[in-house]
Amino acid sequence: MDDLETGSHVRLRITTRMGEQTHEGILLSPYDSGLVTVKLENGYNLSHPTSAIKEITRLDGKSPTEFASLKSKPIDDSLPLVTLIHTGGTIASKVDYKTGAVIARFEPEELIDSVPELREIARIETTLLGNMFSDDIRPRHWNQMITETLAAFNRGSRGVVITHGTDTMATSAAAMSFAWSGDGGRPPGPIVFTGAQRSSDRGSSDARENLIASVHLAAHGPAPSGRKDAAVIVMHAGSSDGILAIHAGHSARKTHSSRRDAFESIDRLPLGTIKLTTDEPIITMNQIQEDVQVLSTSPLTYNEDIKIAEFIAGAHLLPEHLQAIIATKPDAIHLHGTGLGHLPTSDPNSDSPENTEIYSTIHDYVAGGGIAVVTTQTIRGPVHLDVYSKGRALQEIGILGHGMNGPPETSLVKLHYLLSRHRGDSEAFQNAWAMNLIGEQDELIN
Model pLDDT for residues 186-197, shown as the tens digit of each residue: 999 999 999 988
Phi, psi for residue 318 in degrees, rounded to 5: -120, 150
- Looking at the DSSP assignment, which residues form a beta bridge with residue 314? none
Percent pLDDT > 90 in the chain is 58
**Pairing state between β 294-295 and 185-186:** parallel
| Top-confidence residue, 23 or 295 | 295
Q: Is 166 a catalytic residue?
A: yes
Give the domains, in start order, of the chain with CATH numbers.
9-58 (2.30.30.520), 81-295 (3.40.50.1170), 308-433 (3.40.50.40)
Q: 2, 38 in Cβ contact below 8 A?
A: no
Q: Which of 37, 83, 87, 90 is catalytic?
A: 90
Q: Which of 94, 254, 390, 414 is catalytic?
A: 254
Arithmetic mean of pLDDT, 433-442: 90
pLDDT band of 2, cuts 50, 70, 90: very low
Q: What angle do CA 412, 415, 416 make, to 5 degrees?
A: 90
pLDDT band of 54, cuts 50, 70, 90: confident
| Top-confidence residue, 195 or 416 | 416
| Residue 32 pLDDT exceeds 60 | no
Q: 11, 46 in Cβ contact below 8 A?
A: no
* CA separation for the pair 30, 37 (Å, rounded): 5
What pLDDT does residue 140 have?
97
Arithmetic mean of pLDDT, 205-210: 83
| Residue 148 pLDDT exceeds 70 | yes
Q: Which of 87, 94, 163, 167 is catalytic?
A: 167
Arithmetic mean of pLDDT, 363-389: 95
**pLDDT one-digit tens code per residue, 263-293:** 999 988 999 999 998 888 999 998 666 666 7
| Top-confidence residue, 229 or 204 | 229
| Residue 404 pLDDT exceeds 70 | yes
Q: 65, 204 in Cβ contact below 8 A?
A: no
Number of residues in the chain:
446
The sign of the dihedral angle between the CA atoms of 169, 170, 174, 177 is: positive
Q: Which of 166, 171, 194, 273 is catalytic?
A: 166
Please choose, from the candidates 146, 94, 121, 88, the residue with its C-alpha nearest in 3D space to the C-alpha of residue 300: 146
**Pairing state between β 252-254 and 81-86:** unpaired
What pLDDT does residue 198 have?
63
* CA separation for the pair 435, 142 (Å, rounded): 23
Q: 189, 225 in Cβ contact below 8 A?
A: no
* CA separation for the pair 16, 261 (Å, rounded): 35
Distances (CA, A) of 101 to 43, 104, 197, 307: 24, 10, 14, 33
What pLDDT does residue 63 have?
43
What pLDDT does residue 128 have?
85
Rounded to 10°, the helix 319-326/353-367 angle is 20
Query: Which three-class secondary structure state does DSSP give residue 246?
Result: strand
* CA separation for the pair 415, 399 (Å, rounded): 13
What pLDDT does residue 115 have?
76
* Average pLDDT value for the chain: 85
Distances (CA, A) of 182 to 51, 193, 252, 296: 55, 18, 17, 10
**43-47, 141-145, 348-352: range with lowest mean pLDDT:** 43-47
Give residue 401's identity as a one-letter amino acid code: G
Return the number of other C-beta atoms located less than 10 Å from residue 66's C-beta.
9
| Residue 139 pLDDT exceeds 90 | yes
pTM of the predicted protein model: 0.81
pLDDT band of 368, cuts 50, 70, 90: very high
Arithmetic mean of pLDDT, 170-194: 96
Arithmetic mean of pLDDT, 7-15: 82
Percent pLDDT > 70 in the chain is 82
Q: Is 254 a catalytic residue?
A: yes
Arithmetic mean of pLDDT, 157-176: 95
What pLDDT does residue 30 have?
63
Arithmetic mean of pLDDT, 195-221: 81
Phi, psi for residue 310 in degrees, rounded to 5: -115, 140
What pLDDT does residue 383 have?
94
| Top-confidence residue, 5 or 317 | 317
pLDDT band of 60, cuts 50, 70, 90: low
Arithmetic mean of pLDDT, 318-334: 97
Q: Is 206 a catalytic residue?
A: no
* CA separation for the pair 334, 406 (Å, rounded): 15
What pLDDT does residue 364 have?
97
Arithmetic mean of pLDDT, 166-195: 95
Q: 90, 197 in Cβ contact below 8 A?
A: yes
* CA separation for the pair 275, 283 (Å, rounded): 7
